[in-house]
Amino acid sequence: MLLSTFNVNGINSRLPALLQWLGEKQPDVACLQELKAVQENFPQAAINEAGYYAVWHGQKSWNGVAILARGTTPQEVGRGLPGDCEDEQSRYIEAMVNGLLIASLYLPNGNPAPGPKFDYKIKWFERLISHAAELLAGGAPVVLAGDFNVIPTDLDVYKPERWLNDALFRPETRDAFRRLLAQGWCDALRTMHPGERIYTFWDYFRNAYGRNAGLRIDHLLLSPSLAGSLQAAGVDCDMRGREKPSDHAPTWIELDWKSHSPIPGPR
């Protein structure tokens, strides 16, 4: 089973690239972030035509998350991260796909730090840690996939010394990620590439992609019951070098997981 996460940085403006990638890679599940589209402007017809069915949580101009499944309908089980009834930002959605509980998430950037945006980031992270513990306690196999806006270690950034005060790399952010992993989650990409400098994001400025001056901030975390099913993981870096790209590249994993009675998509 092939699962992926991809911050598309505007689903409608980059729809041709997304559809091309779906046709080439054919992931069984694709978690998307930063849709930048209201609910009714999600390109459902084009996604269906490509053989995928989706659940999504849109928001005007910012944020937005989705879960796409090939040939089957994701069964939504929750939207919005629990823990703050006043949080209206569209950053989290959960669905069951082929027996897996999958979450697509877009953790706040948090810059400038310190400040209100960084405070929101850390509070959101604490809510994620709490909810992730509840998911593990539920016993279902779970994948947390998305743009975490976290650079976990020095190995995950091209020049660590330049990022010390950035919200993605501050000690509070990295500590929160470590505490999340300590619950038992498997960082799939790092598990398969333990010593490799591997990136998922390159800024649009200063020829970052050409210089491979990147960051690893897109992650797929597996619950303990799934960790043994992990077969491979990687990043489709070439997507970043195509015409009108997102500043992120799709990150993917392969699991030795047999589909469970898929529910056909709408006809």
Sign of the CA dihedral with 125 first, then 131, 132, and 133 last: positive
C-alpha distance across the termini of the chain, in Å: 24
Q: Helix, strand or coil for residue 49? A: helix
State phi, psi for 143 to the nearest 5 degrees.
Answer: -125, 125
Q: What whole-number distance in Å separates Cα of residue 174 and Cα of residue 54?
A: 32
Give me the residues paired with residue 214 across strands: 202
Of 28, 52, 53, 147, which one is the catalytic site residue?
A: 147
Cis ω before 114 (30° cut-off from 0) = yes
- Cα 263 to Cα 33, 71, 127, 259, 267: the distances in Å are 24, 8, 31, 10, 12
Catalytic site includes residue 203: no
Catalytic site includes residue 147: yes
- The answer to whether the CB of 188 falls within 8 A of the CB of 221 is yes
Please name the residue that has the structure tokens 């997304």: 18
Of 52, 53, 106, 199, which one is the catalytic site residue?
A: 106
**DSSP letter assigned to residue 86:** T
The residues assigned a catalytic role are 106, 147
